[in-house]
Chains A and B, each alone.
Chain A
Amino acid sequence: MPLLEAHGIKKSFARLTALNGVDLTVAENEFHGLIGPNGSGKSTLMKCVAGAEIPTEGTIRFAGRDITAVPPAERARAGLSLKFQITSVLPALTVYDNMLLALQAQNPLSNLIFSRTRGPLHERVLHTLDQFRLADRAGDPAAEISHGQQQWLEIAMALAPEPRLLLLDEPTAGMSLQERRLTGELLIPFKRRCSLVIVEHDLDFIRDICDVLTVLDQGNVLESGTVAHVQNSHKVQEVYLTRV
C-alpha cells in the first residue's frame, strides 16, 4: 500500500484553477520530485497534502487514512512534515530553541508544563544541529544566521519529529551551488527513514536524489515515472524547452 495517495485533487482560488484533478502516489522510502514551470501548481499540491489548503475536490489518503480535511496539527502527528517555500524559522528564538520547539511538539502538555523532556531532548537537539552543520550556531538567534543556514535549520526542524513523509518546498532556493550539493548530501541518509516529496527548480539536484518524478503543468500531471522515463519524455522536453 502506498504511503500517500492523492486522487483527483482540484483546487480553485476564485476563478483561478491551480490544480485540475491531480493524482500523486508516494511509496514508503521513496524520494519523489515534483517539477514543473512556475504556476504549475506544485506548491499548491504540497499545501493540500500538508493541510495548509483544503482541496476543492479529491481525496488524500496517508498511511491508509483519509486526511483530506484533517487539520495540519493532526497530519503532523500522523507523520507528515512540511518545510515551507518561504523560510519560516522563528527569528527571535535561538537556533537551539527552534530545534527544541520542533522536537517537543508532540509531547503531552504535562511534559511541556513541567519541562520533563528538556533534559532528555538536549542530546537530540545537538545531534540534529550537528548533522546539519548548525551546532556552532546553537546559541545565536535564528535571525542572525545566513539564509542557507536558515534553510538547513528548517529542514532539520521538519525532520526532527522523525516523520514518515517529509514535504520540502524549494529547500535550496537562494543557495549557492556548493550549498545545494551539500543539502543533497544531508538529505540522502534520510532515505532509509522516511519518504520525501520535494519541489525544486534545480533539475540536477532533483535528479541526483529522487527515485520518481512527477511533472505538473497548468494544474495537470504532464508525466510521472522514474527519472529516466521523465527525462526522455517528449511532452516534458517540450514544456521545458518552450516555457521554462
Chain B
Amino acid sequence: MADSAVSQAYRSVPRPRRIPVIPIVELALLLILSVLPLILEDYLTIFVTRVLILALLALSFDLVWGYAGILSFGQALFFGSAGYSTALLARDLGITSIFIVLPASLVIGLFVSLALGGFLLLGRHPPTTIFVALGTLTGSYAADRLARGWYYLGGQNGIPAIPAMTAGSYAVVEGPVFYYLAFATLVLVYLLCRFLVRSQFGLALAGMREQKARIAFFGYRVQQLKAMVFSLAGAIAGLAGGLYAFHEGFVGPNMPGVVFSTQIVLYALFGGVGTLIGAVIGVIAVEIVSFWLADNYQQVWPIILGLLLLLIILFRPTGLIGLVVSERERVGTFGRPPRTLPRIAQEGGEEDQHAAP
C-alpha cells in the first residue's frame, strides 16, 4: 500500500530520542558472560554454569508471569520432570548423546506443561490467578512426593552418578565446555523469547496482561494464548532440567518440588519480571550474594538473604532492573516507533480546529 499523507507526516516529524537501557544491560551481560571462563578458576566456572542454567528456569517463569500473567509455582515441576527423565535415559538406556537428551528434555517439559496447562487453563470458564497458582503448586508438590516415594526414581536419594553427556565420542563434562554449552543455550533461548515478546504476539500478551477481560472482546482467544505461553515456558524449564541433571551428575526429589519452584519465583521477582533480562539478573544477583554471604557469614547468611529479598520485593516491586529501566521502556512499543507528532493537517491543508477533549 502506498504511504498516505498521514503516514508521511507521521514520519517527517522530528522525534525525541530516549536511550534504551535494556539493550545496554543485555550487551554488557553478554560480553561479561562470554569471557568469564577465561578469567575464573574452574570451581567458579562450574558455579556460574549452574547460575546460567537456573537463569533459563527464571526466564521461563518471567515468560509466564511477567508476560502472560500466569502465576506459576510449577516451573520446577517441568524442570524436575525433564531432569529425572534424562537421568533415567542415561542410567537405564545408556543414552547420553546431547542430540537426544537435550531435545528430549525440551519435549518432556513441553508435554508435562501442556498436560497441566490444558487442565488448568483450558477449562470451560477462565481460571483465576490464584486457582492456577495453587494448581501449579499442587503439581509441584505431588511430583516431589512421587519422587521421594518411588523406589525406581531413587526415593529420597534421587539418581546419583549420572553419566556425562556426550557429543559423539567427546564427553561434555563440567567446566568451560559445559559453561559454553549452557551459555549458548541461554543466549539462544533468550533471543527466541525476546523475538516473541517484541512481536505482534507480544502485543497480544501485553494486552492480556493489562486487560485480560477486555481483549477477548476484540476476538483474542485468551486461554489458548495463555496455554501456548505456559507450554513454551514448560519446554524451556524442561531444557534447563536436562542441562542441570547432566551438569550436576545428580537429580533429587527437591528438583521438581515446591521449594525450588518458589525459589525461582523469588529470583525472578528480585531481578524484575516483564523484561526477560531482569530474571537473568535476579538469578545471577541472588546466587552471587548467597555465595558471598555463605562464605562470610556462615551462621546468619540465610536471614540476611531473606531480608534482602523481602526489602527489594516490598520497596522495589519492579525488582533490581526497575532501578535503571523505566516503566515505559519495560512495556515498550510494538508497532512502528511511536512518536509525538503535531496534529496532522486535514484535507486542504487546514489545521485541526477542534479542541482536544
A residues adjacent to B (C-beta < 8 A): 50-52, 71-73, 76-77, 81-82, 84, 88, 90-97, 100-102, 104-107, 109, 111-118, 120-123, 125-127, 130, 133, 135-141, 146-149, 151-152, 157, 161, 175-176, 178-179, 182
Q: Are B204 and A104 in contact (CB under 8 A)?
A: yes
**B129 at the A/B interface (Cβ < 8 Å)?**
no
Q: Report the count of interface residues on B (CB-CB < 8 A).
A: 48
Q: Are A138 and B338 in contact (CB under 8 A)?
A: yes
Q: Are B218 and A101 in contact (CB under 8 A)?
A: yes
Tell me which of B331, B334, B342 contacts A100 (CB under 8 A): B334
**B170 at the A/B interface (Cβ < 8 Å)?**
no
What string of 1s and 0s marks CB contacts (under 8 Å) between B1-44 and chain A?
10110110010000100000000000000000000000000000
Q: How far is the CB of A240 from chain B (nearest CB, A)?
A: 28
Q: Are B218 and A76 in contact (CB under 8 A)?
A: yes
Q: Are B338 and A94 in contact (CB under 8 A)?
A: yes
**B303 at the A/B interface (Cβ < 8 Å)?**
no
Q: Are A137 and B218 in contact (CB under 8 A)?
A: no
Report the Cα distance A66→B7, complex, angstroms.
41
Given contacts A73-B219, A73-B220, A138-B339, 10 further A-B contacts (CB under 8 A): A76-B219, A93-B331, A93-B334, A105-B215, A112-B199, A113-B201, A127-B6, A136-B352, A138-B338, A149-B357
Q: Are A94 and B333 in contact (CB under 8 A)?
A: yes
**B217 at the A/B interface (Cβ < 8 Å)?**
yes
**Chain A residue at minimum C-beta to C-beta distance from B331:** A92
Q: Are A135 and B10 in contact (CB under 8 A)?
A: yes
**Chain B residue at minimum C-beta to C-beta distance from A121:** B335
Q: Are A97 and B340 in contact (CB under 8 A)?
A: no
- List A contacts of B204 (CB < 8 A): 101, 104-105, 112
Q: Main secondary structure on chain B at its contact with chain A? A: loop
**Chain B residue at minimum C-beta to C-beta distance from A94:** B338
> Which residues in window 165-204 of B have CB below 8 A to A?
196, 199-201, 203-204
**B355 at the A/B interface (Cβ < 8 Å)?**
yes
Q: Are B201 and A93 in contact (CB under 8 A)?
A: no
- List A contacts of B210 (CB < 8 A): 90-93
Q: Are B217 and A118 in contact (CB under 8 A)?
A: no
Report the Cα distance A223→B215, complex, angstroms.
34
- List B contacts of A178 (CB < 8 A): 354-355
Q: A105-B220, A148-B357 are contacts. A139–B214 as well, Cβ < 8 Å?
A: no
- List B contacts of A95 (CB < 8 A): 338
**Chain A residue at minimum C-beta to C-beta distance from B342:** A136
- List B contacts of A151 (CB < 8 A): 357
Q: Are A100 and B200 in contact (CB under 8 A)?
A: yes
Report the Cα distance A1→B196, complex, angstroms.
44
**Chain A residue at minimum C-beta to C-beta distance from B15:** A139
Report the Cα distance A107→B204, complex, angstroms.
11
**Chain A residue at minimum C-beta to C-beta distance from B125:** A71
* A–B Cβ pairs within 8 angstroms, 17 of them: A73-B220, A76-B216, A93-B206, A97-B333, A101-B203, A101-B204, A101-B207, A106-B218, A107-B200, A112-B204, A122-B7, A122-B336, A130-B6, A130-B344, A133-B352, A140-B340, A178-B355
- List A contacts of B214 (CB < 8 A): 84, 88, 90
Report the Cα distance A158→B138, complex, angstroms.
40
Q: Are B216 and A97 in contact (CB under 8 A)?
A: no
- List B contacts of A118 (CB < 8 A): 200, 334-336
Q: Are A112 and B341 in contact (CB under 8 A)?
A: no
